[in-house]
Amino acid sequence: MAQTEDYDIVGSYNNQRISEIDAERSINMFEYIDQFGKKPKSLINTSGLINTNTDFDGSTGGARAQFVFQDKEYIVYGASVFQISLSGVATQIGTLASTVSGYVGIDANTYQVIFVDGVNGYIWDTITDLFEPITDSAFPSRPIDVCYLDGFFVVANGNTNTFQLSEFNQGLVWGPDNSGTASTFTMAAGSPNIVITYATGGSIANYQVGTTVVFSGGALPAELVAGTIYFVKAIISPTTITVSATDGGAAITSAAGGNGSITNNGQLQLGSITSHPGTIVACRTLHRRLFLFSQFFTEVWENAGIGTNLPFRRNNSLLIEYGTPAIGSISVGFDIMVFLSQSRDGLGSVMEVIGAEPIPISTRALDFQLAQYASLNQVNDCDGFLIKENGLIFYRMNFTSANHTFVYNVTLSNPQSDASKLWHEEEILNGDRHPAQTHAYFNGMNYVGHYSQPILYQLDPNTFTNDGQPIRRARITRAIVPPGYQRLRIDRLQIDVLQGQINQAEEIVQDLDLLSELGFEVETEVGIDILLEQGITIFTPTQLFIFLSISKDGGQTYGSIMRAPMGNVGQRTYRTLWRKLGVIPRGQAFVSMFEFYDAIPFVILGASWAYEIMPE
């Protein structure tokens, strides 16, 4: 006789190396836990994408970094650096001279935003609105990453084991402008020009616009006070500058003239990681600690406030025996740090650092999948970021070469066991990775940059398409087999979903390209298709369906797709079910795959099934 029981439909990613062990996947849906709910577990649809249609002025390439500072959002597309206002207007503020792809590190002090791309460093001065490369000869030759701690920029120097600190609250100065004797200057009466005679080691590269300088000597112009900080206002020639009392202020003119010494007070503040052999690959800060990553280990440094040339000191009791193969995977936020780890003996797990302790948060199934990527050299381009949506914190990691996106539910997971590590997958309609590459929380909303195009999206939980494209929601359940491996007859399978939502469904309209007389697509000068104002409607919601396909061999193959309708407007008690699903052969496992494509909320609250274990 058939018995009706709860069907364990809700779960997360646990797609094992062999599907008959477990084939579980949640695609564009995440597991939600509420012990006081109708059922303690449910599946909720992930957010959709809204194209902000921000004009990035013909730039090309995907998003490389996003950052928010002082009510402005900064984003790098290809070689172009943009600033976005609260009203959503993008203005190009600079260009990265040597790179168009790859990781870009961004951070800020009290008034400067620094960018590093592995070749050069750049400073955006928020007071003067000036974007300029860092020309100080002491600046690291391969600046691969940057962070900020206690007034100092910290830059990791690639292909070495060293890192370097900027001058306090000044990102243009990274070393001394002389080798022991200060440069001298003269200032003519009635002139703002300061003519410098350089000491050994000095050059105009040490006196960029915005650099802080200090004067000394007994014959100083009356307008220049010894020991007071001034700012370089302008570079007149390779030996001549003007200065101002404030950053971007008016140039100071001397009435009577004078002379003396000038210096930028720079000093070389250089450190190195030496716990094991290796080169530095990244730097981050958490809880006022500086984490310096190598490929196979991570040192933890702290501001000891001592020393003449380096205030930071290594904490010898805190050494993480994991490094990272992917600088972009490291994300800090919400009082934690997450990164893809690696040791000298192989690829490690995804790690969550709480305090200074790394805790593995990836499952065995995910670790196996990541190991496959590593064997094909597809982990180095992993990019990850932390994001909070509707009260839940997620860590999203994207693999462009492997073409996949995995997402970890930080808030609801318990990393103490595999069963409580809640991962899911996100993808677009054709199965490619999710477009979101970078992230910034700006003006109360989550914005993400497209990984290969200059497109900025708003990530919105109340949007149910990806910029108009349908989203495939799918759940593949765990494999079920009777304890004695008997045959299994399935009479009915009912799914409990949010019903009566068809009135929220959106029409899906496909864009149409403007075509020439010969039928070729017409493009702009930068290769973007020109679209017609009218599109073609490819979906109008009249009836919603959930699609089911079942596997009778443990998830190795699936049969034909069977659809079952959902309730129309107001039919909130409607039942979506399938009958007479057949017999599962002796010794084989039953796996079901549910799919949904429509642009409405899709929430799975549970399921039940009526089945009978057949006699031998």
Q: What is the pLDDT of residue 2?
A: 74
- Domain end: 204, 231, 263, which one? 263
Please report the pLDDT score of residue 506 as a whole number.
57
pLDDT band at 385 (very low <50, low <70, confident <90, very high): very high
Mean pLDDT of the chain: 93
- Nearby residues of 220 by Cβ (< 8 Å), 6 or more positions away: 226, 258, 259, 260
H/E/C letters for each residue in 487-503? CEEEEEEEEEECCCCHH
pLDDT tens profile 432-477 = 999 999 999 999 999 999 999 999 999 999 999 999 999 999 999 9
246 located within any domain: yes
Domain boundary among the residues 239, 263, 287 is at 263
* 106 domain residue, yes or no: no
Domain CATH for 236: 2.40.30
pLDDT band at 306 (very low <50, low <70, confident <90, very high): low
User: Nearest-5° angle of CA 116, CA 404, CA 605?
Assistant: 120
What's residue 573's pLDDT?
A: 86
Closest to 28 (Cα-Cα) out of 15, 44, 11? 44
Rounded Cα distance, 592 and 18, in Å: 16
- Residue 88 confidence class, pLDDT cut points 50, 70, 90: very high
Angle subtended at Cα 284 by Cα 95 and Cα 345, rounded to the nearest 5 degrees:
110
At residue 58 the predicted structure's pLDDT band, cuts being 50, 70 and 90, is: confident
pLDDT value for 328? 97
Residue 597 is part of which domain span?
A: 3-25+472-506+541-613
Greater confidence (616 vs 188) lies with 188
Residue 73 lies in a domain: no
| Percentage of the chain exceeding pLDDT 70 | 95
pLDDT at residue 525 tops 90: no
Provide the pLDDT for residue 502. 67
Task: Say what the pLDDT of residue 570 is.
Answer: 76
CB-based contacts of 567, cutoff 8 Å, min separation 6: 499, 500, 502, 573, 574, 576
For 374, residues 6+ apart whose C-beta sits below 8 A from its C-beta are 325, 346, 347
Q: 533-537: long-range contacts (C-beta < 8 A, 24 or more apart)? A: 535/509, 535/510, 535/511, 536/509, 536/510, 536/512, 537/507, 537/508, 537/509, 537/510
- The pLDDT of residue 418 is above 80: yes
Confidence label for 500 from pLDDT (cuts 50, 70 and 90): confident
Token pair in block for residue 163: 């890192």
pLDDT for residue 515 is more than 80: no
- pLDDT (tens digit per residue) in 228-258: 999 999 999 999 999 999 999 999 999 999 9
Number of compact structural domains in the chain: 2
Q: Indicate the pLDDT class of residue 540, thresholds 50, 70 and 90.
A: low
User: Is 57 contained in some domain?
Assistant: no
Q: Is the pLDDT of residue 57 over 90?
A: no
Report the pLDDT averaged over residues 471-487: 94
pLDDT the model gives residue 597? 94
Task: Specify if 253 maps to a domain.
Answer: yes
Residues belonging to the chain? 616
Q: Specify if 409 maps to a domain.
A: no
- pLDDT tier, 314 (very low <50, low <70, confident <90, very high otherwise): very high
H or E segment to which residue 131 belongs: strand 130-133
Confidence of residue 514 (pLDDT cuts 50, 70, 90): confident
Q: Which of 241, 263, 285 is the last residue of a domain?
A: 263
Average pLDDT over residues 311-325: 95
Q: What's the pLDDT score for residue 615?
A: 86
> What distances in angstroms separate CA 454 from CA 60, 77, 89, 338, 426, one per listed residue?
6, 6, 14, 27, 21
The CATH number given to whatever domain includes residue 570 is 2.60.120
Please give the pLDDT value at position 572.
85
- The residues pairing with 333 across neighbouring beta strands, listed in sequence order, are 336
pLDDT of residue 538: 52
At 474, which amino acid appears? A
- Using the predicted structure, report yes or no on whether residue 535 has a pLDDT greater than 80: no
Q: How confident is the model at residue 95 (pLDDT cuts 50, 70, 90)?
A: very high
Residue 505 has pLDDT above 70, yes or no: no
Note whether residue 342 is domain-resident: no
Q: How confident is the model at residue 56 (pLDDT cuts 50, 70, 90)?
A: very high
Query: Would you say residue 40 lies in a domain?
Result: no
**324-342: b (≥16 Cβ within 10 Å) or e:** bbbbbbbbbbeebbbbbbb
User: 533 or 123, which is more confident?
Assistant: 123
Higher pLDDT pick, 434 / 535: 434
